[in-house]
């Protein structure tokens, strides 16, 4: 989360519209963060979209001759969205989907691995870790200020009141099952300071070049 997925979806859809392609954008009705006719970035930029209950309603709402289909928060759909996207792509429709690859536990989000594997192009975006300023590939869920537990429900709609971007090291999950390979890593990883900017991004130069 907070990596700019919705922004990127809107950018690509706008490009298609400039190219005068027939575009439809959908979101899941589960996403109640903003009203049902728009998708919104964390910076407050919004774009018109139709909320649909599931992949069947999405298919039923497609207009004849549609050339580009945008799908926001695709991880909220049912699994049948994967073959639907494939069929649309086979029929020459460009499908631009934005979604989370990992859930709050840092595990693959439902059917997303299958969707990613079938996609012709994948762009993986990263946010900035709220704790250390590193590259964030995980989403930390916080319940009453505490890290969520492994067996909490996967779907919990929310934004910065419940979630924050974290890197692999700063991401914490409580009650990881003892047999899970992630346990050793998550409990034993040293809480080291993030690498200096000059180490992690050599092209940015030495820290001395930057204000403290």
Residue 73 annotated to the active site: yes
Other beta carbons within 10 angstroms of residue 65's beta carbon come to: 7
Nearest to 186 by CA among 194, 178, 198, 195: 178
- From the number of C-beta atoms within 10 Å of its C-beta (0-12, 13-18, 19+), residue 55 rates as buried
Q: Which of 83, 113, 133, 158 binds ligand TMP (CB under 6 A)?
A: 158
Using CA atoms, how far apart are residues 95 and 86, in angstroms rounded to an integer?
Answer: 9
- 77-92 b/e (C-beta count within 10 Å ≥ 16 → b): beeebbebbeebeeee
Alpha-carbon radius of gyration of the chain: 19
129 is an interface residue for Zn ion by CB under 5 A? yes
Using CA atoms, how far apart are residues 75 and 30, in angstroms rounded to an integer?
Answer: 10
71 is an interface residue for ligand TMP by CB under 6 A? no
Whichever of 112 and 129 has its CB closer to Zn ion, that residue is: 129
6 is an interface residue for Mg ion by CB under 5 A? yes
Q: Which stretch binds Zn ion (CB under 5 A): 21-29, 49-57, 95-103, 159-167?
A: 159-167
Q: Which stretch binds Mg ion (CB under 5 A): 3-11, 57-65, 81-89, 203-211?
A: 3-11
Whichever of 95 and 170 has its CB closer to Zn ion, that residue is: 170
- Return the one option of Zn ion, Mg ion, ligand TMP, none that residue 146 interacts with (CB less than 5 to 8 A, by type): none
Residue positions annotated with a catalytic role: 73
Binding positions for ligand TMP, rule: CB under 6 A: 1-2, 5-6, 31, 33, 73, 100, 103-104, 139, 154-158, 163
């Amino acid at each position: 989360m907070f990596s700019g997925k919705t922004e990127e979806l809107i950018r690509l859809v706008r490009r298609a519209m400039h190219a005068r392609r027939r575009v439809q954008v959908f979101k899941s009705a589960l996403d109640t963060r903003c009203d049902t006719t728009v998708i919104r970035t964390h910076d407050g930029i919004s774009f018109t979209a139709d909320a649909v209950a599931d992949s069947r309603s999405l298919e039923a709402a497609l207009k004849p001759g549609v050339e580009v289909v945008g799908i926001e928060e695709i991880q909220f759909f049912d699994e049948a969205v994967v073959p639907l996207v494939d069929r649309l792509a086979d029929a020459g429709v460009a499908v631009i989907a934005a979604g989370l690859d990992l859930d709050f536990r840092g595990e693959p989000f439902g059917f997303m691995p299958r969707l990613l594997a079938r996609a012709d192009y994948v762009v993986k975006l990263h946010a900035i870790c709220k704790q250390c300023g590193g590259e964030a590939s995980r989403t930390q869920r916080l319940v009453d200020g505490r890290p969520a537990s492994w067996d909490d429900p996967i779907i919990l709609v929310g934004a910065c009141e419940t979630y924050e971007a974290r890197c692999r090291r700063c991401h914490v999950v409580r009650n990881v099952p003892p047999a899970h390979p992630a346990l050793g890593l998550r409990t034993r990883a040293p809480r080291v300071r993030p690498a200096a900017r000059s180490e992690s991004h050599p092209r940015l130069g030495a820290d001395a070049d930057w204000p403290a």
